[in-house]
Amino acid sequence: MLEGKVAIVTGAGQGIGRCVAMQLAEKGAKVIVNDIGVSIEGEGNDVAPAQSVVDEIKAAGGDAAVNGDSVSEFEGATNMVKQALDTFGGLHIIVNNAGILRDRMLHKMSPDDFRSVIEVHLMGHFNVTRAAINHMREQQWGRVINFTSTSGIIGNLGQTNYGSAKLGIFAFTRNLALETSRYENITVNAISPFAYTRMTASIPVKDEASRARVERTKKMKAEDIAPVVTWLSSEEGKSVSGQIFGVRAGEIIIFGQPRPLRSIHHHGGWTPEQVGEIAMPGLAPFFDEPKASAAVFPYDPMD
């Protein structure tokens, strides 16, 4: 499926990234396995997990190379792209998977907690994609697979930083898909993964409801995400761009795009009093109550 293609997978030392890198290699791609080996909060530095994935790929007959650059730095992203070109002679696929968590309620969140998550997730997507996009444009072939989250699309407690970054990635995906739409063979899509990984394992269990949610999450495996990424990376995926998918065990979800639900017009404009008396009562039936992701997906995943 991916014979002759070269991929960069960020955050590929463990979890979803590891599974994606392994399957891309299994289907014929040569893979730059990027991971700086930090904790879920972004601390430390150890490329051993990424090297382990490279060793597994090679042991299975594939080809891969380790990369220890940070996605939060543009120089690191350009190094990844250069390494792909120098080592494997090309670059066709970008999988922007790297991420950290700094979960805090906003009133306890430091500026560094917010900034660090934005830099790794949203800026990381920009850095790696920006470093690669002109090469893709020149060869008129490219696949960009981003990773968003229901924490941004829907919402979650204690994740204003993570959710902001992930909804930004939603917008990044849609806008870049528009910008590249004139290239028949460049696509940009995003996946909101549901999987029990090191990051989701950090969710605190405070009551029976959260315990049940964690147990439900344990049924969703990192391996479930890779087939969708692999297909989107293939030649067959060229007709799909600008889409936001959810992958939840055996379930593949297509998320809708925000669109106006209702509008109310007042000729000549509004006074504050008229906004309260006319506009808000007319719009109120369409208000959406803020809910956490678990309230939207309360059911067990389908195997």
Phi, psi dihedral angles at 252 (to 5 degrees): -115, 125
Would residue 299 show up in a list of annotated catalytic residues for this protein? no
Residue of 162, 183, 196, 299 marked active site: 162
98 Cβ partners below 8 Å, 6+ apart? 10, 11, 17, 34, 35, 71, 120, 121, 124
What is the chain written as a DSSP string?
--TT-EEEETT-SSHHHHHHHHHHHHTT-EEEEE-----TTS-----HHHHHHHHHHHHTT--EEEE---TTSHHHHHHHHHHHHHHHS---EEEE-------B-GGG--HHHHHHHHHHHHHHHHHHHHHHHHHHHHHT-EEEEEE--HHHHT--TTBHHHHHHHHHHHHHHHHHHHHTTTSTTEEEEEEEEE---TTGGGS---SHHHHHHHHHHTTS-GGGTHHHHHHHHSGGGGG--S-EEEEETTEEEEPPPP--------TT---HHHIIIIIHHHHGGG------HHHHS-SPPP-
Between strands 251-254 and 244-248, the pairing is: antiparallel
Residues designated as active site: 162
